[in-house]
Amino acid sequence: MRLPRPRTLFGRTLATIALVSVGFQIFTLAVIAVLLLMPLGQRSADDLAALMLKTAAEWRAAADPAAFAERLYAGDGLVIVAPGPDLPPSRSWLPYRYFLEQALEQRTGAPLTLLSSRDAEGQPWFWADLPSADGPIRVGFSRTRIGVQPPVALILVLSVGAWVTLLTAIALVRRLTAPLERLSGAAKRLGAGDWPEPVPEQGPEELAALAASFNRMVRRVRELVANRTTLLAGISHDLRTPMTQIQLALAMLPDEGGDPELMAGIRRDLENMNRLIAQFLEISRELEGGGGETVVVGALLADLVTQFGLRGTEVTGPGCSGCRHALHALALRRVVANLLENAVRYGDGAPVEVTCRCDAGAVEIRVLDRGPGIPADQLEAVFRPFYRLEGSRSSATGGSGLGLAVVRQLASANGWGLRLEPREGGGMAAVVSVPLETKRKGAQTAAGR
C-alpha cells in the first residue's frame, strides 16, 4: 500500500529529513555490524570453539572428571557431560550460533549443528556433541554466557534515534516553514480581497527579506486601491457639476433649440452619462462603507423583487424567512440588484427567479434567467469593466458593461463567493455565497485605515 505524499511544505520537508536520517541510521548500523561486530563475533566464536575442544580432550584425560567439570563450569561457564538423550537442533537466529557452528566445523572437519534445551529456570542452553577417539562428548553453555541482546539493541537504537531525529526535524522544519506559512496565509487573504496584518519580519535573513518585501507590496497595493477609489469618486463627482449645468442650459433653450429630435438625443446621452457616473460613485461609496448591521435577507430580497415587479418585470420572490445575518446591507442590495438587472436585460422577456438558501454555513442567493446564456470561455471575461458580449457598445443592445464588474468588486471586498453557471434547459444562474463568519475588512482598509 502506497503512503500518501504530504502536501504541505512542512510535511514534505519533515518527511525528507526523517527518511534520510532513518536511512543513514540503518546504513550506520549495517556498517558497524559488518565491519566491527561480525569480525568480533567470529573471533569470539573461534576462541570458544577452541576452548570447547580443548576442555573435551582434557576432560577425557582427567583423573577426576567430576572435579574437572566443576572447575570448568565455575571458571568458563561450560558444562561437559557424556552424551545423553537426543536434543533438538537449535533454531536460534543469533549470528553467534552460526559463527560457532562454522568454527567447530572448521576445527573438527565434520558438519556440526548446535543443539538446544532449557534448564529448570527456563533459560535456553546450547550444546555441541564433539567427536573424540573414545566417543562423542557433549559440551554446553547457557544463552546468558554470550550476553548479547540484538533485538533490544536494535529496537533501542532505532526507536531512540527515530524520536531524536523526528523531534529535531520538527523543530528545524517548523523554524524554517513557519514564516513561509504566515506569508502564505497573508497572500491567501490578500487574494480573497482582505487586507492582512503585516507579516513579522523574523527568521533567517532570506525569509525576513521576503516578508519585508511582501509587506511593502501590500502597503503599495493598499495605497493604489485607496488612490483609485478616491480618484474615481472625485472625477465622478466633479463631472456632475458641468453636466448639471448643461442640462439646465438645455432646459432653458426655447423651442427645444429648434430641433426636438437632436435635443432628445442630447438628453438621453446626458442621462446615460449620469447613470455611468452614479455607478462609479456607488462603487467607491459601497467599497468604502462599513458593514455589520443585522439584515433580514428574505425581506431585502422581497423588496428588490417588488421594485422590479413595479417596472413590469416578472420576478418570482424567495422563500428565505427567518434568515438574519450581520453584513453590509447596501453592498448586498447592489449586488443582487445588478444581477437582477442583468438577468432582466438579457433574459429574452422570460420570468426571472430569485432563490435563497440559508443554513448554518452560509447564505446562498441565486438569480436565475432563461436567456441565451454566456459561452464557457467568457464566464470570467464578463466581470471585467466595460466588457460586453455584444461589441457595438450600443445602449439599445445592452448595458454599459459595468454591472457585473460592480458585483465582482463588492463581492470580493466583502469576502463573498460569486460565480456564473449555465442552467439545465437554458439560461444562466448567478450565485452569491455569503459565509456566515465573514467579516468585511477589505473595504475598510481600502479607505485608508
> What DSSP letter does each residue of 255-323 carry, written as one string?
GGGG-HHHHHHHHHHHHHHHHHHHHHHHHHHHHHS---EEEEHHHHHHHHHHHHHHTT--EEPP--TT-
According to the model, what pLDDT value does residue 446 have? 36
443 versus 108: which is more confidently predicted? Answer: 108
Global pTM reads: 0.46
Q: Taking 80 as the threshold, does the pLDDT of residue 96 lie above it?
A: yes
- Banded pLDDT at 103 (limits 50, 70, 90): very high
Phi, psi of 114 (to 5 degrees): -70, 145
321 versus 309: which is more confidently predicted? Answer: 309
What does the mean pLDDT of the chain come to? 79
Give the CATH superfamily of 291-449.
Answer: Histidine kinase-like ATPase, C-terminal domain (3.30.565.10)
Matching fold, domains 9-151 and 195-288:
no
According to the model, what pLDDT value does residue 145 have? 82
Least confident of 114-118, 232-236, 283-287, 303-307: 283-287
| Sign of the dihedral through C-alpha 120, 70, 96, 130 | negative
Query: CA angle at residue 116 from 114 to 121, to 5 degrees?
Result: 145
Do 381 and 397 touch, CB atoms closer than 8 A?
no
CA distances from 241 to 246, 247, 250, 274, 386 (A): 9, 10, 14, 11, 24
Assigned CATH topology for domain 195-288: Helix Hairpins (1.10.287)
Query: pLDDT tens-digit profile of 208-254?
Result: 888 889 889 888 887 877 776 676 666 776 777 777 777 777 777 77
Q: Taking 50 as the threshold, does the pLDDT of residue 443 lie above it?
A: no
Q: Outline where DSSP puts E strands in 14-123.
A: 78-81, 115-118
- Banded pLDDT at 431 (limits 50, 70, 90): very high
Alpha-carbon gap, residue 441 to 189, rounded angstroms: 10
For the chain, domain boundaries? 9-151, 195-288, 291-449
**Nearest one of 108, 109, 117 to 137, comparing CA atoms:** 108
**What burial class does residue 394 get, using C-beta atoms within 10 Å of its C-beta: 0-12 exposed, 13-18 middle, 19+ buried?**
exposed
Q: Does domain 9-151 have CATH number 3.30.450.300?
A: yes
Do 13 and 177 touch, CB atoms closer than 8 A?
yes
Q: Taking 50 as the threshold, does the pLDDT of residue 396 lie above it?
A: no
Q: Taking 60 as the threshold, does the pLDDT of residue 291 lie above it?
A: no
C-alpha cell at 76: 568458563
Alpha-carbon gap, residue 250 to 194, rounded angstroms: 46
What's the rounded mean pLDDT across residues 127-140? 85
CA torsion angle 10 16 22 26 (round to 10): 180
What's the rounded mean pLDDT across residues 153-161? 78
445 versus 269: which is more confidently predicted? Answer: 269
330-358 burial, b if ≥16 CB within 10 A, otherwise e? bbbbbbbbbbbbbbbebbeeeebbbbbeb
According to the model, what pLDDT value does residue 25 have? 80
> What are residue 422's DSSP bridge partners?
428
Helix (H) or strand (E) holding 127: strand 124-130
202 versus 388: which is more confidently predicted? Answer: 202
| Residue linked to cell 463568519 | 437
According to the model, what pLDDT value does residue 237 have? 67
What's the rounded mean pLDDT across residues 171-198? 79
According to the model, what pLDDT value does residue 449 have? 33
What's the rounded mean pLDDT across residues 167-173? 81
C-alpha cell at 140: 554446553
Least confident of 133-137, 399-403, 415-419: 399-403
DSSP reduced 3-state for 155: helix
Least confident of 59-73, 242-256, 393-407: 393-407
Do 211 and 221 touch, CB atoms closer than 8 A?
no
What's the rounded mean pLDDT across residues 422-428? 88
